[in-house]
Amino acid sequence: MDARTAHALGFALGTWAQAAPTKGVPTETAEVVSGAEVVIGMDTRESGPWLAEQVAGGLARAGVKARFAGIITTPGVAYLTRTGPFVAGVMISASHNPYQDNGLKAISHSGYKLPDEVELHLESLMTEWLASGQPAQPLKLTVDASLDNLYTDYLASTVSAKFPLKIVVDCANGAATEVAPRLFKRVGACVDWIGAAPNGRNINLDCGSLHLGNLHKRVLETHADLGIAFDGDADRALFVSGAGKIVDGDAVLFLTGVSLKESGHLPGDVVVATVMSNLGLEKALGSHGIEMLRTPVGDKYVLEEMLRRGAAIGGEQSGHVIFLKYATTGDGLLTALRVLEIIHTSGRTLDNLIAEIKTFPQKLVNVRVKTKRPLSDLSSVQAEILAAEKAFGGSGRVVVRFSGTEPLARVMIEAKTNEEVDEWTGRIANAIQAELGTAP
The question of whether 403 is a catalytic residue gets the answer no
Say how far apart CA 335 and CA 149 lie, in whole Å.
19
Residues 6+ apart with CB under 8 A from 394: none
53 pLDDT exceeds 90? Answer: yes
Sign of CA dihedral 169, 171, 176, 178: positive
Q: Which structural domains are found in the chain, ordered by start?
A: 3-147 (3.40.120.10), 158-353 (3.40.120.10), 362-436 (3.30.310.50)
Average pLDDT over residues 113-125: 92
Say how far apart CA 357 and CA 133 lie, in whole Å.
58
pLDDT digits (tens, 9 = 90+) for 2-51: 999 999 999 999 999 887 444 344 443 344 445 789 999 999 999 999 99
User: For the purposes of burial, counting CB atoms within 10 Å of the CB of 189, is it exposed (0-12), middle (13-18) or buried (19 or more)?
Assistant: buried
Percent of the chain with pLDDT over 70: 96
Which entry of 34, 47, 93, 95 is annotated as an active-site residue?
A: 95
**How much is the pTM?**
0.90
Q: What DSSP line would sit under 50-67, residue for residue?
A: HHHHHHHHHHHHTT-EEE
pLDDT digits (tens, 9 = 90+) for 311-361: 999 999 999 999 999 999 999 999 999 999 999 999 999 999 999 999 999
Residues 6+ apart with CB under 8 A from 427: 384, 387, 388
Q: What is the pLDDT, as a whole number, of residue 33?
A: 47
Please, what is the angle between helix 379-392 and helix 418-436, to 10°? 170
Q: How confident is the model at residue 192 (pLDDT cuts 50, 70, 90)?
A: very high
